[in-house]
Chain A
Amino acid sequence: MDGEPRTNPDVPRVDDVETWTHSGLQAFLQALFFVLIVRPFVLLFLGLRIRDRGRIPAGRRPFILIANHSSHLDTACLLNLFPIRRLRHLRPVAAADYFERNPFVSKLTRTLFHILPIDRTARRKDASGQTGADPRQRMLAALQAGQSLILFPEGTRGNANEVTRFRSGIAWLAQAMPEVPIVPIYLANLGRALPKGHFVPIPLFVEVRVGEPLLPRGDREEIRAALESAVKKLKDTP
């Protein structure tokens, strides 16, 4: 990658936001995948328990779900909170360096999970004078296009038992779109059901704990810390 200009046509530009939403066929394939595989897996195999589901905003206004991240199952469980027809408005924000590592994985995750790929290293490259789509701009564009985001502010999968320090990107978004509610969520036991580095899940009961939607105010560090403690608080209320 060093020194090369980014020519990959597969990585959309921020202003293409409308074009990287699902086509009809992709939406259909995603719906099929959820009805036949994800739903049965999550409900029968894992036996997902949901606490305070009613706190998730209804209607078409965009919102941001933030959660701790300890397993590859996290995104599937969060998407499972919604009826199939709402999936096309939900964008799990995912690391391009991992989920776009080859065209096949890229196509798969974009179609089946409708991910919003972001380049975790883009801003660092910016500083060194290279081009790269600012991941924050891309998330902002999606929100402005009326889509909701699923975001793991820890930035990577941690271990099952602790919530690590949140990155500040979520605080930047909260300042840029102060009217978009942010819903803190704690995912319990998912890191045990499928820990980092393993590929066979075990059927533990997992729990999704939904917190009150927040409209945080203040400077970036205050917002970052407030959201982090909102998720940690849910962790400590079994």
Chain B
Amino acid sequence: MLEFLRTLEPQWRMAIIVLVVLALASVVLAVLRRARPERDYRELTARTRSWWIMASVFFAAVGLSNLLSIGFFALMSFWAMKEYITLLETRPADHGALVLAFLCIPVQYVWVAQEWYGMFVIFIPVYMFLGLATRLVLAGETRGFVSSMAQIHWGLMALVFGLSHMSYLLTADANPDLPGVDGRTLVLFLVFVVEMSDVFQYVWGKSFGRRKIIPTVSPNKTWEGLLGGIASTMLVSLAIRFLTPFSVLECLAVVLLVTVAGFFGGAVMSAIKRDFGVKDFGRLIPGHGGMLDRVDSLCFAAPVFFHYLAYFHYD
């Protein structure tokens, strides 16, 4: 079996691993249900089922073609922006700027598809930073001006610029020394690490969580959850090191970096939800909430992972 796995290309090896992990989760859930039928498993069941669907959709998109995956990531940004902007208390005068903000989504992903790196890294941070302010000032409403300018641009930065780094990873060339390791496998590695870390933090937090890290933001984020989650993710990541150009030590360091960034991404989004007075950003994914509840960690982890690679491996 292991010999057979070794002969497969890394991405298919990864698909089999994810399949096994999900099957294992479903089996554990079924056993738990039989062993302790008195407990309520509805949320866990919904979550597990959603994981199956998300993994299938993700592998279908990433597996088929790079262009399709870029389209898929653009849709993720679109949906996340939709959820975020819906919760903002925008003014009627913001309409034009909001139209502009939504138009940025396809444009940003066109730079990705063209592999125009220079434009990709400055379009939203520089041009849209100026463009949104310009559009807002033309609308002529000064009351609430700063707040609108900041809120709309922050959304673009996190949900469009941040997430789009994931798709730009796809353009990384294959490494001649490591056959099969390319942009696609790096995306798989990043997403697997971030999502496993979320799951592990949830499980550790539920089981042993006592000391809250930021109780005013999220009562569910505990030191036990965070440290247990990161340690477990580091261990598990060694099994999928074949997706990356990393040595063992580097792999552990990168996972630490990515999971800590992801943790703060999740915490920031929790703070935003608190501020808006909502529990979830949406209800797209049963058991999880909205798109933004699922990709919150990735908004922070993707740019950090991307720039680490760009600096040390792909100058």
Q: Is B85 an interface residue (CB 8 A)?
A: yes
Q: Is B86 an interface residue (CB 8 A)?
A: yes
Looking across the interface, which residue of chain A has its beta carbon closest to that of B95? A198
The main secondary structure of chain B at its interface with chain A is: helix
Inside 8 A of B102's CB, which chain A residues have their CB? 202-203
Return the CB mask of B78-105 against A: 1 if under 8 Å, else 0: 1000110110001010011011001000
Q: Is B282 an interface residue (CB 8 A)?
A: yes
Inside 8 A of A200's CB, which chain B residues have their CB? 99
Whether A202 contacts B95 in the complex (CB less than 8 A), given A189-B86, A192-B90, comes out as yes
Inside 8 A of A203's CB, which chain B residues have their CB? 78, 82, 102
B296 CB, nearest partner CB in chain A, Å: 18
CB <8 Å contact, A205 and B86: yes
Q: Is A160 an interface residue (CB 8 A)?
A: yes
A202 to B85, CA, bound (A): 10
A160 to B98, CA, bound (A): 16
Looking across the interface, which residue of chain A has its beta carbon closest to that of B103? A200
Spell out B's residues near A (CB within 8 Å): 78, 82-83, 85-86, 90, 92, 95-96, 98-99, 102, 282-283
Inside 8 A of A205's CB, which chain B residues have their CB? 82-83, 86, 282
- Find residues 24-79 in chain A having any chain B CB closer than 8 Å to their own CB: 47, 49
Of the A-B pairs whose beta carbons lie under 8 Å apart in the complex, a sample of 8, sorted by A's number, is A47-B82, A160-B92, A189-B86, A195-B95, A202-B95, A202-B99, A204-B82, A204-B85
Best-buried of A49, A198, A202, A204 by chain B (most CB within 10 Å): A202
Inside 8 A of A159's CB, which chain B residues have their CB? 92
Inside 8 A of A192's CB, which chain B residues have their CB? 90
Inside 8 A of B83's CB, which chain A residues have their CB? 205
Looking across the interface, which residue of chain A has its beta carbon closest to that of B282? A205
Inside 8 A of A198's CB, which chain B residues have their CB? 95-96
Q: Which 10 A-B pairs have the closest CB atoms?
A: A205-B86, A204-B86, A202-B98, A200-B99, A195-B92, A203-B82, A198-B95, A195-B95, A202-B99, A202-B102
A200 to B83, CA, bound (A): 19
B251 CB, nearest partner CB in chain A, Å: 39
A47 to B75, CA, bound (A): 13
Return the CB mask of A165-195 against B: 1 if under 8 Å, else 0: 0000000000000000000000001001001
A49 to B83, CA, bound (A): 13
Return the CB mask of A201-235 against B: 1 if under 8 Å, else 0: 01111000000000000000000000000000000
Inside 8 A of B98's CB, which chain A residues have their CB? 202
Return the CB mask of A77-111 against B: 1 if under 8 Å, else 0: 00000000000000000000000000000000000
A227 to B92, CA, bound (A): 27
A189 to B83, CA, bound (A): 12
A204 to B87, CA, bound (A): 9
Best-buried of B82, B86, B98 by chain A (most CB within 10 Å): B86
Inside 8 A of A160's CB, which chain B residues have their CB? 92
A204 to B86, CA, bound (A): 5
A203 to B84, CA, bound (A): 11
- Contacts A195-B95, A205-B82 aside, 7 further interface pairs with beta carbons under 8 A come to A198-B96, A202-B95, A203-B78, A203-B82, A204-B85, A204-B86, A205-B86
A127 to B161, CA, bound (A): 62
Inside 8 A of B85's CB, which chain A residues have their CB? 202, 204
A195 to B92, CA, bound (A): 7
A47 to B290, CA, bound (A): 12
A47 to B83, CA, bound (A): 10
Looking across the interface, which residue of chain B has its beta carbon closest to that of A159? B92
A170 to B283, CA, bound (A): 36
A189 to B82, CA, bound (A): 12
A159 to B99, CA, bound (A): 19
A195 to B91, CA, bound (A): 10
B222 CB, nearest partner CB in chain A, Å: 31
Inside 8 A of B78's CB, which chain A residues have their CB? 203
A237 CB, nearest partner CB in chain B, Å: 15
Inside 8 A of B283's CB, which chain A residues have their CB? 49
A101 to B272, CA, bound (A): 46
Looking across the interface, which residue of chain A has its beta carbon closest to that of B278? A238
A158 to B31, CA, bound (A): 56
A165 CB, nearest partner CB in chain B, Å: 21
A12 to B90, CA, bound (A): 43
A159 to B90, CA, bound (A): 13
B130 CB, nearest partner CB in chain A, Å: 21
A192 to B282, CA, bound (A): 18
Looking across the interface, which residue of chain B has its beta carbon closest to that of A200? B99
A47 to B85, CA, bound (A): 13
- Find residues 133-169 in chain A having any chain B CB closer than 8 Å to their own CB: 159-160
B77 CB, nearest partner CB in chain A, Å: 12
Best-buried of A49, A198, A203 by chain B (most CB within 10 Å): A203
A6 to B92, CA, bound (A): 39
Looking across the interface, which residue of chain B has its beta carbon closest to that of A195? B92
Inside 8 A of B96's CB, which chain A residues have their CB? 198
